[in-house]
Chain A
Amino acid sequence: MSEDKSQLKIRFFTREKDESLQVEDNPMYVPITLKRYGLSEIVNHLLENSTPTPFDFLIDGELLRTSLQEYLVKKGLSSETSLNVEYTRAILPPSFLSSF
Protein backbone atom coordinates (compact mmCIF):
# COMPACT_ATOMS: atom_id res chain seq x y z
CA MET A 1 0.00 0.00 0.00
CA SER A 2 1.37 3.41 -0.88
CA GLU A 3 1.70 5.95 1.85
CA ASP A 4 -1.06 8.53 2.21
CA LYS A 5 0.29 11.77 0.83
CA SER A 6 -2.77 13.80 1.75
CA GLN A 7 -2.08 17.19 3.20
CA LEU A 8 -4.10 19.74 5.10
CA LYS A 9 -4.00 23.50 5.44
CA ILE A 10 -3.57 24.61 9.04
CA ARG A 11 -2.77 27.80 10.91
CA PHE A 12 -1.03 27.83 14.26
CA PHE A 13 -1.97 30.24 16.97
CA THR A 14 -1.37 30.49 20.69
CA ARG A 15 -2.76 32.28 23.70
CA GLU A 16 0.63 32.21 25.40
CA LYS A 17 1.60 35.72 26.43
CA ASP A 18 5.32 34.98 26.13
CA GLU A 19 6.56 36.76 22.94
CA SER A 20 9.19 34.10 22.35
CA LEU A 21 6.44 31.52 21.86
CA GLN A 22 4.58 33.38 19.08
CA VAL A 23 4.78 32.23 15.46
CA GLU A 24 3.60 34.04 12.35
CA ASP A 25 0.06 33.07 11.51
CA ASN A 26 0.70 32.15 7.87
CA PRO A 27 -1.06 29.05 6.58
CA MET A 28 0.92 25.82 6.44
CA TYR A 29 0.33 22.75 4.30
CA VAL A 30 1.13 19.70 6.41
CA PRO A 31 0.76 15.90 6.13
CA ILE A 32 -2.54 14.77 7.66
CA THR A 33 -0.76 11.88 9.37
CA LEU A 34 0.85 14.31 11.85
CA LYS A 35 0.21 13.85 15.56
CA ARG A 36 1.17 15.90 18.55
CA TYR A 37 4.88 15.07 18.23
CA GLY A 38 5.11 16.15 14.58
CA LEU A 39 3.17 19.33 15.21
CA SER A 40 5.40 20.13 18.17
CA GLU A 41 8.46 19.63 15.98
CA ILE A 42 7.06 22.13 13.44
CA VAL A 43 6.26 24.79 16.03
CA ASN A 44 9.74 24.42 17.53
CA HIS A 45 11.23 24.69 14.05
CA LEU A 46 9.26 27.91 13.46
CA LEU A 47 10.33 29.28 16.85
CA GLU A 48 13.93 28.36 16.02
CA ASN A 49 14.27 26.81 19.45
CA SER A 50 17.60 25.19 20.16
CA THR A 51 16.09 23.27 23.06
CA PRO A 52 12.65 22.09 21.96
CA THR A 53 9.64 22.92 24.13
CA PRO A 54 6.96 20.24 24.17
CA PHE A 55 3.55 21.58 23.15
CA ASP A 56 -0.02 20.45 23.42
CA PHE A 57 -2.46 21.13 20.59
CA LEU A 58 -6.09 22.09 20.66
CA ILE A 59 -8.62 22.37 17.88
CA ASP A 60 -11.80 24.23 18.76
CA GLY A 61 -10.71 24.10 22.38
CA GLU A 62 -10.43 20.32 22.32
CA LEU A 63 -7.11 18.64 23.12
CA LEU A 64 -5.78 16.74 20.10
CA ARG A 65 -5.02 13.16 21.14
CA THR A 66 -4.92 11.60 17.68
CA SER A 67 -3.48 12.33 14.26
CA LEU A 68 -5.00 15.19 12.28
CA GLN A 69 -6.44 12.57 9.96
CA GLU A 70 -8.27 10.77 12.77
CA TYR A 71 -9.52 14.11 14.02
CA LEU A 72 -10.97 14.93 10.58
CA VAL A 73 -12.65 11.53 10.34
CA LYS A 74 -14.12 11.87 13.82
CA LYS A 75 -15.55 15.30 12.99
CA GLY A 76 -16.76 14.25 9.55
CA LEU A 77 -14.43 16.73 7.86
CA SER A 78 -12.21 16.32 4.80
CA SER A 79 -8.72 17.58 4.06
CA GLU A 80 -10.39 20.38 2.05
CA THR A 81 -11.10 22.25 5.28
CA SER A 82 -8.45 24.30 6.96
CA LEU A 83 -7.94 24.04 10.69
CA ASN A 84 -6.87 26.61 13.25
CA VAL A 85 -4.55 24.76 15.57
CA GLU A 86 -3.83 26.22 18.99
CA TYR A 87 -0.64 25.30 20.80
CA THR A 88 0.17 25.66 24.49
CA ARG A 89 3.14 24.59 26.56
CA ALA A 90 2.59 20.98 27.51
CA ILE A 91 1.18 20.50 30.97
CA LEU A 92 0.97 16.72 30.87
CA PRO A 93 3.74 14.55 32.36
CA PRO A 94 6.41 13.60 29.79
CA SER A 95 5.77 9.86 30.13
CA PHE A 96 2.16 10.40 29.12
CA LEU A 97 3.13 12.75 26.30
CA SER A 98 5.35 10.19 24.61
CA SER A 99 2.35 7.92 24.17
CA PHE A 100 0.78 10.06 21.41
Chain B
Amino acid sequence: RETQMESKLETAPRSLEESRQLWHSSEIATADLVSRLGEQLRLILEPTLATKLKGDYKTGKRLNMKRIIPYIASQFRKDKIWLRRTKPSKRQYQIMIAIDDSKSMSESKCVKLAFDSLCLVSKTLTQLESGGLSIVRFGEHTKEVHPFEQQFSNDSGAKAFQWFSFQDTKTDVKRLVAESIKIFERARSFNNSDQWQLEIIISDGICEDHETIQRLVRRARENKIMLVFVVIDGINSSESIMDMSQVTYVPDSFGNMKLQINKYLDSFPFEFYVVLHDISELPEMLSLILRQYFSDLASA
Protein backbone atom coordinates (compact mmCIF):
# COMPACT_ATOMS: atom_id res chain seq x y z
CA ARG B 1 0.00 0.00 0.00
CA GLU B 2 2.84 2.32 0.92
CA THR B 3 4.56 1.83 -2.43
CA GLN B 4 1.29 2.36 -4.24
CA MET B 5 0.88 5.67 -2.47
CA GLU B 6 4.43 6.70 -3.31
CA SER B 7 4.04 5.89 -6.98
CA LYS B 8 0.77 7.78 -7.07
CA LEU B 9 2.72 10.76 -5.76
CA GLU B 10 5.15 10.53 -8.63
CA THR B 11 2.56 10.88 -11.37
CA ALA B 12 1.16 14.32 -11.94
CA PRO B 13 -2.62 14.20 -11.66
CA ARG B 14 -3.29 16.85 -14.33
CA SER B 15 -2.35 16.74 -18.00
CA LEU B 16 0.23 19.19 -19.29
CA GLU B 17 -2.22 20.43 -21.90
CA GLU B 18 -4.83 21.34 -19.31
CA SER B 19 -2.21 22.84 -17.01
CA ARG B 20 -0.92 25.09 -19.80
CA GLN B 21 -4.43 26.43 -20.31
CA LEU B 22 -4.85 27.01 -16.58
CA TRP B 23 -1.51 28.74 -16.39
CA HIS B 24 -2.42 30.91 -19.34
CA SER B 25 -5.72 31.97 -17.82
CA SER B 26 -3.95 32.82 -14.55
CA GLU B 27 -1.42 34.87 -16.53
CA ILE B 28 -4.24 36.87 -18.06
CA ALA B 29 -5.96 37.34 -14.72
CA THR B 30 -2.81 38.66 -13.07
CA ALA B 31 -1.01 40.51 -15.89
CA ASP B 32 -1.55 44.00 -14.44
CA LEU B 33 -0.86 42.90 -10.91
CA VAL B 34 2.54 41.46 -11.78
CA SER B 35 3.95 44.90 -12.49
CA ARG B 36 2.32 46.36 -9.38
CA LEU B 37 3.72 43.66 -7.11
CA GLY B 38 7.04 43.89 -8.94
CA GLU B 39 7.37 47.59 -8.18
CA GLN B 40 6.53 47.10 -4.56
CA LEU B 41 8.87 44.17 -4.06
CA ARG B 42 11.68 46.00 -5.85
CA LEU B 43 11.43 48.81 -3.31
CA ILE B 44 11.62 46.35 -0.47
CA LEU B 45 14.14 43.90 -1.84
CA GLU B 46 16.49 46.11 -3.81
CA PRO B 47 18.59 47.30 -0.87
CA THR B 48 19.49 43.67 -0.32
CA LEU B 49 20.82 43.25 -3.84
CA ALA B 50 24.32 44.59 -3.98
CA THR B 51 25.01 45.24 -7.65
CA LYS B 52 28.45 46.35 -8.69
CA LEU B 53 29.91 47.93 -11.77
CA LYS B 54 32.30 45.54 -13.42
CA GLY B 55 34.51 45.55 -16.53
CA ASP B 56 35.53 44.88 -19.23
CA TYR B 57 32.91 45.10 -21.93
CA LYS B 58 32.65 46.48 -25.45
CA THR B 59 29.51 48.35 -24.48
CA GLY B 60 28.23 49.39 -21.12
CA LYS B 61 27.04 51.97 -18.66
CA ARG B 62 30.19 53.80 -17.68
CA LEU B 63 33.74 54.07 -18.97
CA ASN B 64 36.48 52.19 -17.19
CA MET B 65 39.06 54.95 -16.91
CA LYS B 66 41.96 52.52 -16.42
CA ARG B 67 41.32 51.11 -19.89
CA ILE B 68 41.35 54.43 -21.77
CA ILE B 69 45.13 54.85 -22.22
CA PRO B 70 45.71 51.23 -23.34
CA TYR B 71 42.74 51.66 -25.66
CA ILE B 72 44.29 54.65 -27.40
CA ALA B 73 47.76 53.06 -27.34
CA SER B 74 46.42 49.93 -29.02
CA GLN B 75 45.07 51.93 -31.94
CA PHE B 76 41.57 51.41 -30.54
CA ARG B 77 41.83 47.67 -30.76
CA LYS B 78 41.64 46.97 -27.02
CA ASP B 79 38.12 48.26 -26.94
CA LYS B 80 36.76 46.52 -23.85
CA ILE B 81 36.60 49.80 -22.00
CA TRP B 82 33.11 49.75 -20.53
CA LEU B 83 31.78 48.92 -17.12
CA ARG B 84 28.46 47.23 -16.67
CA ARG B 85 26.16 46.85 -13.77
CA THR B 86 26.34 43.16 -13.12
CA LYS B 87 23.87 40.95 -11.40
CA PRO B 88 25.07 39.73 -8.04
CA SER B 89 27.04 36.55 -8.53
CA LYS B 90 25.15 34.83 -5.73
CA ARG B 91 21.43 34.78 -5.22
CA GLN B 92 20.48 37.02 -2.37
CA TYR B 93 17.20 35.44 -1.46
CA GLN B 94 15.29 32.27 -1.95
CA ILE B 95 11.53 32.24 -2.00
CA MET B 96 9.33 29.19 -1.70
CA ILE B 97 5.66 29.27 -2.58
CA ALA B 98 3.69 26.48 -0.92
CA ILE B 99 0.16 25.81 -2.10
CA ASP B 100 -2.43 23.88 -0.13
CA ASP B 101 -3.51 20.95 -2.29
CA SER B 102 -6.04 19.57 0.17
CA LYS B 103 -9.67 18.89 -0.59
CA SER B 104 -10.98 21.73 1.56
CA MET B 105 -9.49 24.09 -1.02
CA SER B 106 -11.81 22.84 -3.74
CA GLU B 107 -14.77 22.57 -1.39
CA SER B 108 -14.42 26.22 -0.44
CA LYS B 109 -13.74 27.26 -4.07
CA CYS B 110 -10.24 28.56 -3.34
CA VAL B 111 -8.62 26.85 -6.32
CA LYS B 112 -8.74 29.69 -8.84
CA LEU B 113 -7.41 32.20 -6.35
CA ALA B 114 -4.63 29.81 -5.33
CA PHE B 115 -3.56 29.30 -8.95
CA ASP B 116 -3.69 33.02 -9.65
CA SER B 117 -1.64 33.78 -6.53
CA LEU B 118 0.97 31.21 -7.49
CA CYS B 119 1.18 32.67 -10.99
CA LEU B 120 1.36 36.24 -9.72
CA VAL B 121 4.10 35.63 -7.17
CA SER B 122 6.25 33.40 -9.35
CA LYS B 123 6.06 35.67 -12.41
CA THR B 124 6.89 38.73 -10.33
CA LEU B 125 9.89 37.09 -8.72
CA THR B 126 11.17 35.90 -12.06
CA GLN B 127 11.00 39.45 -13.37
CA LEU B 128 12.99 40.68 -10.40
CA GLU B 129 15.67 38.24 -11.56
CA SER B 130 17.56 37.98 -8.35
CA GLY B 131 16.14 35.18 -6.32
CA GLY B 132 15.73 31.47 -6.42
CA LEU B 133 12.18 30.19 -6.61
CA SER B 134 10.74 26.93 -5.40
CA ILE B 135 7.15 25.69 -5.62
CA VAL B 136 5.79 23.17 -3.18
CA ARG B 137 2.46 21.40 -2.89
CA PHE B 138 1.19 20.14 0.43
CA GLY B 139 -1.73 18.23 1.86
CA GLU B 140 -1.25 14.85 3.38
CA HIS B 141 2.25 14.87 1.89
CA THR B 142 4.60 17.64 0.90
CA LYS B 143 6.31 17.69 -2.49
CA GLU B 144 8.61 20.20 -4.17
CA VAL B 145 7.24 20.54 -7.71
CA HIS B 146 9.70 23.19 -8.86
CA PRO B 147 13.16 23.20 -7.26
CA PHE B 148 15.32 26.22 -6.44
CA GLU B 149 18.08 24.98 -8.78
CA GLN B 150 15.88 25.28 -11.84
CA GLN B 151 15.30 28.47 -13.78
CA PHE B 152 11.61 29.37 -13.66
CA SER B 153 9.68 29.94 -16.92
CA ASN B 154 6.08 29.89 -18.09
CA ASP B 155 6.60 26.28 -18.95
CA SER B 156 7.75 25.42 -15.45
CA GLY B 157 4.67 27.24 -14.16
CA ALA B 158 2.40 25.06 -16.26
CA LYS B 159 4.32 21.97 -15.20
CA ALA B 160 3.95 22.91 -11.54
CA PHE B 161 0.20 23.30 -12.01
CA GLN B 162 0.08 19.65 -13.09
CA TRP B 163 0.70 18.54 -9.51
CA PHE B 164 -2.38 20.17 -8.08
CA SER B 165 -5.67 18.32 -7.89
CA PHE B 166 -6.97 19.58 -4.51
CA GLN B 167 -8.02 16.08 -3.47
CA ASP B 168 -5.79 15.35 -0.46
CA THR B 169 -7.85 14.25 2.50
CA LYS B 170 -5.49 15.84 5.04
CA THR B 171 -3.90 19.25 5.50
CA ASP B 172 -0.65 18.49 7.29
CA VAL B 173 0.90 21.90 7.92
CA LYS B 174 3.31 20.41 10.48
CA ARG B 175 4.77 18.23 7.78
CA LEU B 176 4.90 21.16 5.37
CA VAL B 177 6.90 23.34 7.75
CA ALA B 178 9.26 20.49 8.71
CA GLU B 179 9.85 19.56 5.05
CA SER B 180 10.30 23.21 4.06
CA ILE B 181 13.05 23.65 6.62
CA LYS B 182 14.84 20.67 5.06
CA ILE B 183 14.43 21.99 1.50
CA PHE B 184 15.73 25.41 2.54
CA GLU B 185 18.68 23.85 4.35
CA ARG B 186 19.67 21.95 1.24
CA ALA B 187 19.26 25.05 -0.93
CA ARG B 188 21.41 27.07 1.44
CA SER B 189 24.20 24.53 1.41
CA PHE B 190 24.52 24.29 -2.35
CA ASN B 191 24.39 28.03 -2.66
CA ASN B 192 26.51 28.62 0.43
CA SER B 193 26.03 32.35 0.74
CA ASP B 194 24.47 34.50 3.37
CA GLN B 195 20.94 35.01 2.20
CA TRP B 196 17.47 35.22 3.57
CA GLN B 197 14.83 32.66 2.90
CA LEU B 198 11.13 33.28 2.66
CA GLU B 199 8.20 30.92 2.38
CA ILE B 200 4.79 32.11 1.24
CA ILE B 201 2.06 29.62 2.13
CA ILE B 202 -1.22 29.95 0.24
CA SER B 203 -4.09 28.05 1.85
CA ASP B 204 -7.62 28.30 3.17
CA GLY B 205 -5.96 28.38 6.58
CA ILE B 206 -7.82 25.41 8.03
CA CYS B 207 -5.30 23.30 9.91
CA GLU B 208 -5.20 21.49 13.23
CA ASP B 209 -2.71 21.21 16.06
CA HIS B 210 -1.72 24.85 16.22
CA GLU B 211 0.65 24.26 19.16
CA THR B 212 2.92 21.86 17.31
CA ILE B 213 2.89 24.03 14.21
CA GLN B 214 3.90 27.02 16.30
CA ARG B 215 6.94 25.15 17.63
CA LEU B 216 7.98 24.34 14.05
CA VAL B 217 7.43 27.93 12.94
CA ARG B 218 9.76 29.01 15.73
CA ARG B 219 12.34 26.48 14.60
CA ALA B 220 12.08 27.86 11.05
CA ARG B 221 12.66 31.34 12.39
CA GLU B 222 15.76 30.17 14.26
CA ASN B 223 16.95 28.88 10.88
CA LYS B 224 16.39 32.39 9.46
CA ILE B 225 13.41 31.27 7.42
CA MET B 226 10.52 33.68 7.34
CA LEU B 227 7.02 32.27 6.90
CA VAL B 228 4.18 34.33 5.50
CA PHE B 229 0.74 32.76 5.49
CA VAL B 230 -1.78 33.99 2.92
CA VAL B 231 -5.25 32.86 3.96
CA ILE B 232 -7.71 32.66 1.09
CA ASP B 233 -11.04 33.49 2.59
CA GLY B 234 -14.73 33.82 1.97
CA ILE B 235 -14.86 32.81 -1.68
CA ASN B 236 -17.60 30.29 -1.07
CA SER B 237 -20.21 32.36 0.68
CA SER B 238 -20.65 34.90 3.40
CA GLU B 239 -18.62 32.56 5.58
CA SER B 240 -15.30 33.91 6.79
CA ILE B 241 -12.37 32.42 8.68
CA MET B 242 -12.45 35.56 10.79
CA ASP B 243 -15.79 34.48 12.26
CA MET B 244 -14.74 30.89 12.78
CA SER B 245 -14.49 29.52 16.31
CA GLN B 246 -12.21 26.86 17.65
CA VAL B 247 -13.29 24.31 20.23
CA THR B 248 -10.62 23.10 22.67
CA TYR B 249 -10.55 21.35 26.02
CA VAL B 250 -8.15 22.59 28.64
CA PRO B 251 -7.64 21.20 32.14
CA ASP B 252 -8.91 23.37 34.99
CA SER B 253 -7.18 23.58 38.39
CA PHE B 254 -8.68 20.22 39.37
CA GLY B 255 -7.45 18.56 36.20
CA ASN B 256 -10.93 18.31 34.70
CA MET B 257 -11.14 19.06 31.01
CA LYS B 258 -13.11 22.24 30.41
CA LEU B 259 -14.65 23.27 27.13
CA GLN B 260 -13.30 26.50 25.65
CA ILE B 261 -14.54 28.31 22.58
CA ASN B 262 -12.21 30.91 21.12
CA LYS B 263 -11.75 32.67 17.82
CA TYR B 264 -9.95 30.32 15.44
CA LEU B 265 -7.45 32.97 14.37
CA ASP B 266 -6.52 33.74 18.01
CA SER B 267 -4.40 30.60 18.10
CA PHE B 268 -3.30 30.74 14.46
CA PRO B 269 0.32 29.58 14.63
CA PHE B 270 1.79 31.95 12.04
CA GLU B 271 2.98 35.34 13.19
CA PHE B 272 2.78 36.90 9.74
CA TYR B 273 -0.49 36.21 8.00
CA VAL B 274 -2.89 38.06 5.73
CA VAL B 275 -6.49 37.27 4.89
CA LEU B 276 -7.12 37.57 1.18
CA HIS B 277 -10.54 37.90 -0.48
CA ASP B 278 -9.49 38.90 -3.96
CA ILE B 279 -6.33 38.47 -6.03
CA SER B 280 -6.06 42.24 -6.53
CA GLU B 281 -5.36 42.60 -2.80
CA LEU B 282 -2.29 40.39 -2.89
CA PRO B 283 0.39 42.89 -4.02
CA GLU B 284 -0.39 45.40 -1.26
CA MET B 285 -0.81 42.75 1.40
CA LEU B 286 2.39 40.96 0.54
CA SER B 287 4.43 44.12 0.47
CA LEU B 288 2.85 45.30 3.71
CA ILE B 289 3.78 42.14 5.50
CA LEU B 290 7.31 42.04 4.09
CA ARG B 291 7.85 45.64 5.12
CA GLN B 292 6.66 44.79 8.61
CA TYR B 293 9.01 41.84 8.71
CA PHE B 294 12.01 43.93 7.68
CA SER B 295 11.23 46.64 10.19
CA ASP B 296 10.94 43.93 12.86
CA LEU B 297 14.32 42.60 11.79
CA ALA B 298 15.85 46.06 11.94
CA SER B 299 14.54 46.75 15.42
CA ALA B 300 15.44 43.34 16.81
Contacts and interface: CB of A to CB of B under 8 A. Distances in A.
B261 A26 contact: no
Interface of B: 102-104, 107, 168-171, 206, 208-209, 239, 243-247, 249, 259, 261, 264
Given A42-B259, A45-B261, A29 B206 contact: yes
B102 to A, nearest CB: 6
Nearest to A42: B247
A46 B104 CA distance: 26
Interface in A32-48: 41-42, 45-46
Nearest to A11: B239
A26 B239 CA distance: 7
Contacts of B170: 78-80
Interface of A: 5-7, 9, 26-31, 41-42, 45-46, 78-82
Contacts of B209: 5
- With most chain B CB atoms within 10 A of its CB, the pick from A9, A29, A78, A82 is A29
Contacts of B249: 31
Given A28-B261, A81-B103, 7 more contacts: A5-B208, A29-B208, A29-B244, A42-B261, A78-B169, A80-B102, A80-B168
A35 B170 CA distance: 21
Contact of A26 (B103, B104, B208, B244): B244
A27 B205 CA distance: 13
B247 A30 contact: yes
A9 B261 contact: no
Identify the 4 closest CB pairs spanning chains A and B, nearest first: A78-B169, A80-B103, A80-B104, A26-B243
B206 A9 contact: yes
A41 B259 contact: yes
Nearest to A44: B259
A31 B245 contact: no
A45 B169 CA distance: 30
B206 to A, nearest CB: 6
A45 B248 CA distance: 13
A28 B103 contact: no
A19 to B, nearest CB: 21
Given A28-B247, A31-B247, A7 B107 contact: no
Contacts of A46: 261
A29 B107 contact: no
